[in-house]
């Protein structure tokens, strides 16, 4: 179901807006995957969003299955968050000075993530990960870091090595503009392969500061950890005196209230957060062991700062969001699990009936339909997907009123605002999209 009349309205208004945007922004966008280059066509321009729906400038309505790339766990325009933002804005949008809202949100974060004894708020997941690896290097006095192929931790220079997300979408081997010297201490290893991690530590004894990992990969599409994998990373890091950093920018508050670390029972040294944390406003955090965090300035020698860090609007939206998650944890997460399962497995069944090879990876309310017979366990197997088939499916789903992330290498997200009505709409759309 798209417009009032139930018919797809061509994107003429959106196209005009796209042409105007191209005069100002490279590719017409402020973040590359939004340009729809991987799936073809022009992106619809969003006019507003509410609950489980996006509404475009042409008058179409879509079931939203990317949730602003993760943050909108409670759906769009969630009234308590809207109210909190308005209220905070009436007291000024920014102070550049300490205020009580920061500790109020921190207290909620620590309730959800007991491993985060101390933290620091920043403005994005990129900043959180960039700062966390600097801290790990400063704390250990070591230079090398381990990351994994297809994982994406934002666009800091040292982390744009065999990265996922837009880097994978556009097949960029490593970004231009990153001097090789900047990335020479980044070891990019295959995900779900503990032997590769053991080998890296053997090759660089006492030189590796940290293992940085998306505990469930979201930026190569969704890839769950193999049984024992995260436990193995924890053990190896401890044995070698390196820090384990879980990048929970996507998974934090989503896979459970306490993220992937609660779901899999892993205690990291540091955690990075973002997306849901700010309830849709720009906000990130990194935190963990107090003895490590106390190496940050002004207590220690590792420098990190930000004018908009701890921004009062972001804190207010975060508090409204996380407090709701805490209050409704018992019913909210089972509902997310149920609805997402119905969507993900429902479409997998339709694909099977239509004879379309599809591998469905799902953990809680994040999932990916990979257009390959699979299994998909790492970036190499994700890359075997038929991206042209994904692009066709994406376009047909969009015209049938369902907006998926516009790349095979991004996770889809379901919100608490999705219910059986939206499940039906997605299945109906997929039925015709797969049959064509």
Rg (CA), the chain: 21
Choice among 53, 58, 62, 152 that is catalytic? 152
Choice among 147, 269, 275, 378 that is catalytic? 275
**Which tokens go with 299?**
């207590």
Letters for 218-247 (x = contact with ligand HOZ by CB under 6 A, - = none) are: -x----------------------------
Contact stretch for ligand HOZ (CB under 6 A) within 30-38, 75-83, 88-96, 311-319: 30-38
CB-count burial class (<10 Å; 0-12, 13-18, 19+) for 203: exposed
> Measured from the CB atom, is 247 or 342 closer to ligand HOZ?
247
From the CB of 264, what's the least distance to ligand HOZ, in Å? 21
Contacts of 149 (CB under 8 A, 6+ apart): 162, 188, 189, 190, 191, 220, 378, 379, 380
Question: Is 31 one of the binding residues for ligand HOZ (CB under 6 A)?
Answer: yes
Which of 1, 9, 17, 33: binder of ligand HOZ (CB under 6 A)?
A: 33
HSE of 60 in the Cβ direction (CA atoms, 13 Å)? 26
From the CB of 428, what's the least distance to ligand HOZ, in Å? 27
**Which tokens go with 129?**
């990960």
Active-site residue flag, 118: no
Question: Is 368 one of the binding residues for ligand HOZ (CB under 6 A)?
Answer: no
Question: Is 25 one of the binding residues for ligand HOZ (CB under 6 A)?
Answer: no
Contact stretch for ligand HOZ (CB under 6 A) within 26-34, 97-105, 315-323, 425-433: 26-34
Strand partners, 330: none
Helix (H, G, I), strand (E, B) or coil at 100: helix
HSE of 340 in the Cβ direction (CA atoms, 13 Å)? 27
187 backbone dihedrals φ, ψ, rounded to 5°: -100, 115
> Measured from the CB atom, is 169 or 256 closer to ligand HOZ?
169
Which of 36, 45, 53, 69: binder of ligand HOZ (CB under 6 A)?
A: 69
From the CB of 41, what's the least distance to ligand HOZ, in Å? 17
DSSP 43: P
Contact stretch for ligand HOZ (CB under 6 A) within 29-37, 99-107, 131-139, 307-315: 29-37
350 within 8 A of 118, measured Cβ to Cβ: no
Question: Is 272 one of the binding residues for ligand HOZ (CB under 6 A)?
Answer: no
Question: Is 34 one of the binding residues for ligand HOZ (CB under 6 A)?
Answer: yes
246 within 8 A of 142, measured Cβ to Cβ: no
- C-alpha span between 286 and 156 (Å, rounded): 15
From the CB of 70, what's the least distance to ligand HOZ, in Å? 7
Active-site residue flag, 275: yes
- C-alpha span between 164 and 155 (Å, rounded): 10
Contact stretch for ligand HOZ (CB under 6 A) within 27-35, 73-81, 92-100, 342-350: 27-35
Question: Is 309 one of the binding residues for ligand HOZ (CB under 6 A)?
Answer: no
Q: Of the candidates 40, 33, 273, which has an alpha carbon nearest to the alpha carbon of residue 168?
A: 33
Binders of ligand HOZ: how many residues, by CB under 6 A? 9
Which of 410, 423, 425, 429: binder of ligand HOZ (CB under 6 A)?
A: 410
> Measured from the CB atom, is 219 or 311 closer to ligand HOZ?
219
Choice among 56, 247, 269, 378 that is catalytic? 247
Strands 284-288 and 366-370: unpaired
371 within 8 A of 385, measured Cβ to Cβ: yes
From the CB of 50, what's the least distance to ligand HOZ, in Å? 19
> Measured from the CB atom, is 33 or 133 closer to ligand HOZ?
33
Helix (H, G, I), strand (E, B) or coil at 362: strand
Question: Is 166 one of the binding residues for ligand HOZ (CB under 6 A)?
Answer: yes
CB-count burial class (<10 Å; 0-12, 13-18, 19+) for 220: buried
Cα 372 from chain centroid (whole Å): 22
DSSP 92: -
Active-site residue flag, 152: yes
Sites of contact with ligand HOZ (CB under 6 A)? 31, 33-34, 69, 152, 165-166, 219, 410
Residues designated as active site: 152, 247, 275
């Amino acid at each position: 179901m798209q417009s009032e009349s139930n018919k797809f309205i061509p994107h003429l208004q959106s196209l005009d807006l796209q042409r105007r945007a191209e005069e100002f922004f490279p590719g017409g966008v402020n973040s590359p995957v939004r340009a729809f280059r991987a799936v073809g066509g022009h992106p619809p321009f969003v006019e507003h969003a509410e609950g489980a729906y996006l509404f475009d400038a042409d008058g179409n309505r879509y079931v939203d299955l990317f949730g602003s790339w993760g943050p909108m766990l409670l759906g769009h325009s969630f009234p308590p968050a809207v109210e909190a933002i308005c209220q905070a804005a009436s007291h000024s949008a920014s102070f550049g000075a300490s205020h009580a809202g920061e500790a109020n949100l921190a207290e909620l974060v620590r309730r959800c993530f007991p491993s985060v004894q101390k933290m620091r708020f920043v403005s994005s997941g990129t900043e959180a990960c960039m700062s966390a690896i600097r801290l790990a290097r400063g704390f250990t006095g070591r230079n090398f870091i381990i990351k994994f192929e297809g994982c994406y931790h934002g666009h800091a220079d040292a982390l744009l090595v065999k990265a996922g997300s837009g880097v994978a979408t556009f097949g960029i081997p490593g970004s231009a503009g990153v001097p090789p010297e900047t990335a020479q201490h980044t070891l990019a290893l295959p995900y779900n392969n503990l032997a590769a991690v053991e080998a890296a530590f053997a090759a660089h004894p006492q030189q590796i500061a940290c293992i940085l990992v998306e505990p469930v990969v979201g930026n190569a599409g969704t890839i769950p950890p193999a049984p024992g994998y995260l436990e193995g990373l924890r053990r190896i890091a401890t044995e070698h005196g390196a820090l384990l950093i879980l990048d929970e920018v996507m998974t934090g508050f989503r896979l459970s209230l306490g993220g992937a670390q609660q779901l899999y029972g892993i205690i990291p040294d540091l955690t990075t957060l973002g997306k849901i944390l700010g309830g849709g406003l720009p906000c990130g955090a990194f935190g963990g062991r107090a003895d490590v965090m106390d190496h940050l300035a002004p207590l220690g020698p590792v420098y990190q700062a930000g004018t908009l860090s701890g921004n009062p609007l972001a804190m207010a939206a975060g508090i409204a969001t996380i407090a709701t998650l805490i209050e409704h944890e018992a019913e909210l997460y089972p509902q997310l699990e149920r609805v997402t399962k119905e969507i993900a497995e429902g479409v997998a069944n339709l694909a099977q009936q239509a004879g379309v090879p599809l591998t469905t990876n799902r953990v809680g309310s994040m999932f990916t339909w990979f257009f390959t017979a699979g299994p998909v366990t790492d970036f190499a197997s994700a890359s075997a997907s038929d991206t042209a088939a994904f692009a066709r499916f994406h376009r047909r789903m969009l015209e049938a009123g369902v907006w998926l992330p516009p790349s095979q290498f991004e996770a889809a997200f379901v919100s608490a605002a999705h219910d059986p009505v939206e499940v039906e709409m997605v299945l109906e759309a997929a039925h015709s999209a797969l049959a064509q």
